[in-house]
Amino acid sequence: MNIQNEMKLSFESRSINEGFARSAVAAFVMSLDPTVSELSDIKTAVSEAVTNVIVHAYGDASGTVYIHAQITDTGRVIIRIRDKGCGIENVPRAMEPLFTTGGEDRAGLGFAVMQSFMDKVSVRSKEGKGTTVTLEKAIIRRGRNDSRR
């Protein structure tokens, strides 16, 4: 498996940039000719990960969100969302559905959505240093005559 294409992106942890982040990753993935549904899954997962950085990793402070996206020659998309924020004290607990420290209007479903919409989700975190969330998804290759959804 070789990396065929990649892009890096960094931006300020402002909530207005959530839309920019998922749209930028979606635009990058377009070269694989994903279906509407595959693209929507990726946008949703990226939106969850970036929102976690803005709401939890940096909280009231401001910081930088780093995205590194790669496409492999087997049609796999690998997206790393990294921050230098507070880190996650207990990663398994943070990934439990409905667990949240984000106040009453947060559903606690961020990681559940990422896991449901992507093939693989992994989290590396160190308290006081930051967190990296890696999302992976295979984009199904179709022949030229396939109909597009």
Per CB under 8 A, residues contacting other proteins are 15-16, 18-19, 22, 36-37, 40, 43-44, 47-48, 51, 54-55, 104-107, 109-110, 112-113, 116-117
Q: Give bridge partners of residue 130 from the DSSP assignment.
A: 126
Kindly tell me which of 144 and 149 has the beta carbon lying closer to other proteins.
149
Residue 86 CA to residue 93 CA, distance in Å, equals: 16
Kindly tell me which of 7 and 109 has the beta carbon lying closer to other proteins.
109
- Residue 93 is given by DSSP the state H
Minimal distance in Å, beta carbon 1 to other proteins? 29
Residue 38 CA to residue 99 CA, distance in Å, equals: 26
Structure tokens at 2: 């070789």
Active-site positions?
Answer: 48, 52, 106
Kindly tell me which of 48 and 83 has the beta carbon lying closer to other proteins.
48
| Cβ atoms 132, 124 nearer than 8 A | yes
